[in-house]
Amino acid sequence: MQDGAEVVPATLPQAVACPADPPGCVGGDAGRTAAAGGVTRLPLAGRRLKSSSPEATEAGAWTMPCFVAGPENRLVAAVFQRLLAAVGDDNGLAVGQSSIGSLLLFGPSGCGKTHLARGLAEAWHNRLGHTKNGDSQVAYLTASDFRRQVASAVNDRSLDAFRRQIRRCRLLVIDDLPRLAGEAYALEELIHTVDALAVSGALFVGASQKPLADVPQLSRALTGRLLSGVTLQVAQPSLATRQALLQQALSALGCTATPKALALLAEQAPTDPRRLLGVALRLRRRLRAGATLDEKLAASLAELDLARPSPPAGEIVATVARYYGLPKAKLTSSSRQKSIVLARAVAIYLTRELTPLSYDQIGKLLGGRDHTTVLHNYRRIERSLPTDRALRTALDELRGSITAAAAV
């Protein structure tokens, strides 16, 4: 959800707000939610749904407006309701008296940590705006961003300015904390930043795929500080949550589905929310605009779209290489030749869309590239899709070849 190399402290991209009354989401106070069957919808804007189809013209229609929390994440929902309410009053940044101080989110890739963390940052940013000096009161960074910007500030002799800016935030979010493992200087800087935020009554939110105690080469001092706050495990969605996610995604894509159709799809759909949203996109491509998905149609689509296994990542890379007339080894090389860079980015995009592999795993597949580099390439393709018809055509053709081969 973030483009690491381009995010700067105390700066957020333009936020996508939760609509006043999206399907299943109650408008009004930030802390209010709609709950049915133990499912709670938090008004936290999520990732844009991706599609190379011509229908994807309006960004708002492709944005998940709420975070769907089922019974498995009821504590997560309760804490985030409190954090949303803390910034909901004119007076108040009541978070200084919330006794939370720091919040650590952990859970497997795809469970929704980044949706929660970035959604909270955007909600606070929308409410708080900037200081009189023009600085944002909210900052969202990946750990790699933080490390690079600390190094840059040291090299530019602007470390004091960097500290003043980031430590004046009311909310600082650092995603993917294990990326700081072994980075002694950046870790020391983050420890002092967390301490400064605690003194000012601000909130620090960190996210990790595993408990920090299980991450080698991560500062014990930092781990101790964060574990003294609130730690939340974000669980993979249950059946009821998957059904609610599908309903919300299909609604955002302009479709509706009967309860029986949703139940059938949710039972067979993958548990990873990212792949679940991919299912919604595939269903949308097969439905007419405004169509209602009934049980009979859902059964036939489920057989075609859900039972099919993910294509092997290596085959995706090989197919892309053949399409662009390149040896597969070129895509894993360090070459910066324009045609190779494009083909490599396309392979990254398709692997991320068609398989459950994380950015780290894709990076290892493509010559040991790091998380930030892979994410940058994925975002590059994503940004080009609305205006680059040739790229959309290439992706459609490649996707067809890849899925056809996987079905054999």
Same domain, 166 and 286: no
Could you read off the pLDDT of 284-317 as tens digits, one per residue?
Answer: 666 766 678 888 877 776 655 554 567 888 999 9
Segment 354-407, tens digit of pLDDT: 887 878 889 999 999 988 899 899 989 988 887 888 888 888 888 878 876 654
Q: What total number of domains does the chain contain?
A: 3
pLDDT-derived band at 37, boundaries 50, 70, 90: low
Looking at the fold, whether 259 and 124 belong to one and the same domain comes out as no
Supply the range of the domain harboring residue 344: 313-407
> Does 245 lie in the same domain as 224?
no
Q: Answer yes or no: are the C-beta atoms of 343 and 320 closer than 8 Å.
A: yes
Q: Express each pLDDT in 168-227 by its tens digit.
A: 999 999 999 998 998 999 999 999 999 999 999 999 999 998 888 888 888 899 999 998
User: What pLDDT is attached to residue 308?
Assistant: 55
Considering the domain architecture, whether residues 94 and 147 belong to the same structural domain is answered as yes
pLDDT of residue 404: 65
Residue 41 backbone phi and psi in degrees, to 5 = -110, 115
Domain shared by 157 and 278, yes or no: no
Residues 266 and 150 in one domain: no
Q: Is 97 in the same domain as 222?
A: yes
Instruction: Answer yes or no: do 262 and 224 share one domain.
Output: no
- What is the DSSP secondary-structure string of 85-101? HHTSSTT--GGGGSS--
Stretch 116-145: mean pLDDT, rounded? Answer: 87
Which CATH number is 47's domain given? 3.40.50.300
Please tell me the distance from the alpha carbon of residue 289 to that of residue 253, in angstroms, as a whole number.
9
23: which residues sit within 8 A by CB, 6+ positions away?
Answer: 247, 248, 251
31/180 same-domain check: yes
